Amino acid sequence: MLVLVTGASGHIGCNLIRVLLEQGHEVRALVRSDVRGIEGLTVEQVPGDVLDPDSLDQACAGAEVVFHCAANISVDGSVGDDQLRVNAEGPRNVAEACLKAGVRKLIHFSSLHAISEYPRDQAITEENGLVKPAENPLPYSRTKALGEEAIQAAVARGLDAVVLNPSGVIGGHDYKVSHMGETIRDLATGKFPALIPGGYDFVDVRDVVKAALAAVEQGRSGERYLITGHYLSVVELAGIVAAVTGRKAPGWVCPMWLARFAAPFSVTWGRLTGKRAKFTSASLQVLRSNGQADHAKATEELGHSPYPAQESVAAVVAWQREAGWY
């Protein structure tokens, strides 16, 4: 079948496209400028933007299934107009184009961040609902929640759409260097001077792709599915990277109060050097959040069965080495 993928050169998108091609599908990719993730692949590249309804109408024409992966990801605590529009208006525009074109199924990629973490003493499930402004969520979380609301509005108008909420995605074909890809690289190369308390749920990009493909036929319209993996503290993640690479993990765990004090300086240094800050007040908020998530619904309905954490990290390290990162 003809499949459209938005955000085609992103981490999830370019992994998804590779599997779609392996399965024999005809793939159309909505692209803006960066095509590193899909260079050399036999895909139809359609110039466009999720904020340009006309380009979306062209891209959706004739497509049977659409995977909406495009998003503006940020954990620095700020939110600009571009992020708000891409994450909130983008899904609305994509859903509208799908309705016009008669697309059979839309798979929308949201985020675990879009789901309320309360009550914090219980694992997050689909029943938690979207984050609320009163919970003081990260701005990014709120934009992803607004995107989900746009999808549900289209479902009410007759669109067959499924929402997937991955946690922290790790894996290969990480051409734009994701936050977690950079963290694993720095741990593997000894560039992480100290560890930080806290942790989060991490899922293998291969598991995310598998769930997305299953959702085409098995996902129920209007439903959301948490596509999560395993909760790992930063210390546990560093230990796994050390076991995989043979490089000793940092021995010092920086107290959270000290990390929070230093976060603004980390951000300032990143801006001065043109590099991504190692940690920010917002990323520390994530590490202190309720990262425990229950993927039972996705397991029952989509066959979601996450790779063991060590296998996932080993796959990341293997790809980074092959790509010449170190």
In the predicted model, is pLDDT for residue 78 greater than 70?
no
Helix (H) or strand (E) holding 241: helix 234-245
Q: Residue 272 has what pLDDT?
A: 83
What is the spatial distance between Cα 71 and Cα 241, in angstroms, rounded to a whole number? 28
User: Residue 113's closest CA among 131, 95, 134, 132?
Assistant: 131
Strand extents, DSSP E, 58-170: 65-68, 105-109, 161-166, 168-170
Least-confidence region, from 81-90, 145-154, 198-207, 209-218: 81-90
Which pair of tokens denotes residue 85?
């529009």
Cβ-contact 293, 152 below 8 angstroms: no
Percentage of the chain exceeding pLDDT 90: 86
Cβ-contact 66, 104 below 8 angstroms: no
Domain boundary assignment for the chain:
2-176+201-230+292-307
- pTM value surpassing 0.85: yes
CB atoms within 10 A of CB 10: 25
Mean pLDDT in residue range 228-237: 98
Q: Residue 279 has what pLDDT?
A: 83
What is the spatial distance between Cα 141 and Cα 289, in angstroms, rounded to a whole number? 12
pLDDT tens-digit series, residues 253-296: 999 999 999 988 887 888 888 888 878 888 899 999 999 999 99
Cβ-contact 46, 36 below 8 angstroms: no
Q: Residue 269 has what pLDDT?
A: 80
Domain 2-176+201-230+292-307, classified CATH 3.30.200.20, yes or no: no
| Residue 75 confidence class, pLDDT cut points 50, 70, 90 | low
The DSSP call for residue 87 is I
Which pair of tokens denotes residue 225?
């599915």
What is the spatial distance between Cα 203 and Cα 167, in angstroms, rounded to a whole number? 6
Mean pLDDT in residue range 61-77: 89
| Residue 136 confidence class, pLDDT cut points 50, 70, 90 | confident
